[in-house]
Amino acid sequence: EIQLVESGGGLVQPGGSLRLSCAASGFSFSTFEMTWVRQAPGKGLEWVSYISSGGSVVYYADSVQGRFTISRDNAKNSLYLQMNSLRAEDTAVYYCARDWNGSGTYYMDYWGQGTLVTVSS
Amino acid sequence: SYVLAQPPSVSVSPGKTARITCEGDSIGIKRVHWYQQRPGQAPVVVVYDDTDRPSGIPERFSGSNSGNTATLTIGRVEAGDEADYYCQVWDSYSDPYWVFGGGTKLTVL
């Protein structure tokens, strides 16, 4: 069974940092591209960041560029999101998701249950 | 950046057909994916590549895409279909590449 389990969320003050983790199991993690997607309370889905299977290619949404860093450890089957200089508008549930690219387009075929990040003083 | 527009809400009676639209400039030339998100749960893909269904998704869920509109159709709607639905495209000419629609709340009357 494919599982993605996020951890590391919590309450942090504005300007603070947090590191999210996503533990993957049930598939060959090192061969799949991965993505972080977030959802602010009562709002829609927002793509945050992407990382290639080997970790050499990364992309970020403009809203987090320069503040967030995506990384992965294929030996540990784990995905990470280092979040610095956090703002109130970063408050959201953060989901890790597996990217599927089978026809020249990407979609997220498996999602974790999410971890809540609250940025507040 | 590429924009996908969805109606905020759609209502349907049980047993009827629901249609949720996703509008975007020439969306017909892109591949559209649809996600269902029940309250308090993570999204689940219900249609990918315009018309394909993952295993385990009922045949009642179908998709189409042409011109400037993609449509998710849910036939014989059940109470359990009540959820938020999001369309998504990947566009290498857009920034960001991954784009979601604003979501549609499906209410089963």
By the 10 Å C-beta count (0-12 exposed, 13-18 middle, 19+ buried), A113 is classed as middle
Question: B 41-100 residues with CB below 8 A of A?
Answer: 41-45, 48-49, 54, 84, 86, 88-90, 95-100
The mean pLDDT of A73-87, rounded to a whole number, is 98
Distances (CA, A) of A63 to A9, B64, B73, B75: 19, 31, 33, 38
Q: Could B31 and A103 be called an inter-chain contact, meaning their C-beta atoms sit closer than 8 Å?
A: yes
Residue A19 has pLDDT above 90, yes or no: yes
Residue A105: count of CB within 10 angstroms of its CB: 21
Residue B76 has pLDDT above 80, yes or no: yes
The mean pLDDT of B66-81, rounded to a whole number, is 97
**The predicted structure's pLDDT at residue B93:** 81
Contact A68, A61 (CB under 8 A): no
Q: Could A112 and B100 be called an inter-chain contact, meaning their C-beta atoms sit closer than 8 Å?
A: no
Rounded distance, CA B54 to CA B10, Å?
24
Mean pLDDT, chain B, rounded, equals: 95
The mean pLDDT of B98-108, rounded to a whole number, is 97
Better-scored residue on pLDDT, B74 or A102: B74
Listed residue (B91, B102, B70) closest to B1, CA to CA: B91
Q: pLDDT tens digits for B81-97?
A: 999 999 999 988 877 78
